[in-house]
Amino acid sequence: MLDSSSEDKSQETPESGSADAALKKELLSYRNKKRVNINENPLKWWRVPREELKDLSPISRRFLSSLPASVPSKQLSAPASADVRLHALAQTTVQRLKAILVSRECPWNKKGKHKTRPQVLPREAIIKIQEHIASFPTKTTHYGSKDISYLDARFTAKTRHVVFIKVGFGRPHVDVRSSCEALGVKLRDARLNNNTKRVSAAKLIVHKRRAKRF
C-alpha cells in the first residue's frame, strides 16, 4: 500500500509545465473534490465556479486567465509567445480557449448545420432516395454469425438512378426524332410551294427551341 506522501507526489503537476499540464491539474482537483451529487457528470467541470477549484498553476494563469476577448500579441510575455509559436497555436485559438474557460460554458457543436453548400440535397430528397433503395429486394448472408442484408450486385448506382427517375445523363448528340426528320424533308422537297416551306421552317425553329430548353 502506498503512503500518503507518494500519493501526493503522484498528483502534483510541475508549475513550469505546459497549458495541458495546468488543465490536468485543474481536472484532478475537481475529481478529488467531494461532491454532494454522486451522479454528477465529471465532464461538465467547466460549469463549476472557479472559487470551488484550487489555484491554477502559473502556466495556466498565463494562458487561461480572465482577460478581455481581444488580447494583442504584445501583451503576452516572452515565454508565453515562445510557447505559442512552439506549439503552432494561432492567436485566435488562444483567445477562443480563454473565452470558453472564462464563460464556463461548452460551445454548441454546429458541425454540418451550416447552409452555405449550394449542392446539398434537401431532407425530403434524401428520404425519397432511401425509400427507393429500400424498396429493392435484398439477400441475406448464408455464412456468418450475423444476418446481413445486401442488394444484388447488378443493382449498381447507374441502374438505381435509371429506375428512380428514368432520365439519361447528358443531351443526345444527334436529334433523330421523326418530327425533325419530317420537317427537314418538307424543306428539301422541290415540289412544295414557298408558303408550305415557310410554315415548315417556322415549325422546325419552334421545335428546336423547345428542345434546347431541356
Pair (141, 189) in one structural domain = no
In terms of C-beta density within 10 A (0-12 exposed, 13-18 middle, 19 or more buried), how is residue 25 classed?
Answer: buried
Pair (76, 51) in one structural domain = yes
Pair (19, 43) in one structural domain = yes
Residue 44: other Cβ atoms inside 10 A: 11
Q: Is residue 38 part of a domain?
A: yes
Collapsing DSSP states into helix, strand and coil, what is residue 7? helix
Find the DSSP H helices in 33-150.
Answer: 58-64, 78-86, 91-103, 123-134
The total number of structural domains that make up the chain: 3
**Chain centre to alpha carbon of residue 119:** 14
Pair (95, 156) in one structural domain = no
Give dist(CA 179, CA 210) in Å, integer. Answer: 13
pLDDT along the chain (214 residues), means of 10: 46 49 64 50 49 48 44 49 64 78 77 72 85 83 80 80 66 63 83 87 84 64
pTM over 0.85: no
Q: Is residue 88 part of a domain?
A: yes
Domain that holds residue 143: 125-165
Give dist(CA 69, CA 80) in Å, integer. Answer: 17
Residue 23: other Cβ atoms inside 10 A: 20
Pair (144, 200) in one structural domain = no
